[in-house]
């Protein structure tokens, strides 16, 4: 005597096929009738890291100033640079080759600012702006008149 194996019913097979095919068909119909958004959002394109570099270039010499009230001030500065790496390297080389000229100009600008500032706190606040104007006047070109974006005081000692 053999035992007959139960066969799946044809109705269940057709029902399973229709369920899968129906879900696929419904998804296809919905996606084909979907309208594109009326406004296209354009993401801003940022410069790649190779195209844009940000760096602080520490000026190798300190600035020594005597204020009119006989206060001695010692300051160290760094220049904030921003641009393509090759441009920044070229600017650093120019600054190094003209270091003594830049040093003299920074000292003159700092001394002038020391005489203009009412007190030590005002001098400390105004000094970066005065140095920024002077260094950009020296190192700026017609293509980029302001190659230095910021002057940062990394040391400020008053005695």
Instruction: Write down all domains in the chain, each with its CATH number in brackets.
Output: 53-158 (3.30.479)
pLDDT reading at 47 higher than 80:
no
Contact residues for 20 (Cβ-Cβ < 8 A; gap 6+): none
Report d(CA 151, CA 127) in Å as an integer: 9
Q: Are strands 53-58 and 72-83 parallel, antiparallel or unpaired?
A: antiparallel
Question: Could you tell me if 96 and 86 are in contact, meaning their C-beta atoms sit under 8 angstroms apart?
Answer: no
Q: pLDDT tens-digit profile of 49-102?
A: 567 888 898 999 999 999 999 999 999 999 999 888 888 888 888 888 999 999
Q: What is the pLDDT of residue 105?
A: 93
Q: Which residue has the higher pLDDT, 28 or 50?
A: 28
SS3 content of the chain, % helix, strand, coil (to 5): 45, 20, 35
pLDDT given for residue 6 in this prediction: 66
User: pTM here?
Assistant: 0.66
Q: pLDDT tens digits for 103-130?
A: 999 999 999 999 999 899 999 999 999 9
pLDDT value, residue 144? 87
């Amino acid at each position: 005597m053999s035992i007959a194996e139960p066969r799946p019913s044809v109705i269940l097979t057709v029902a399973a096929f229709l369920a899968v095919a129906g879900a696929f068909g419904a998804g296809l119909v919905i996606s084909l009738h979907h309208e594109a958004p009326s406004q296209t959002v354009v993401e801003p394109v940022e410069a790649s890291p190779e195209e844009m570099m940000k760096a602080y270039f520490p000026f190798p010499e300190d600035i020594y100033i005597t204020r009119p009230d006989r206060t001695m001030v010692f300051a160290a500065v760094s220049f904030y640079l921003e641009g393509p790496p090759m441009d920044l390297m070229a600017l650093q080389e120019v600054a190094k080759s003209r270091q003594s000229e830049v040093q003299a100009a920074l000292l003159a600008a700092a001394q002038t600012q020391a005489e203009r500032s009412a007190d030590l706190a005002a001098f400390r606040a105004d000094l970066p702006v005065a140095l920024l104007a002077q260094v950009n006047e020296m190192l700026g070109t017609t293509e980029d008149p302001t190659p230095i974006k910021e002057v940062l005081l990394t040391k400020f000692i008053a005695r």
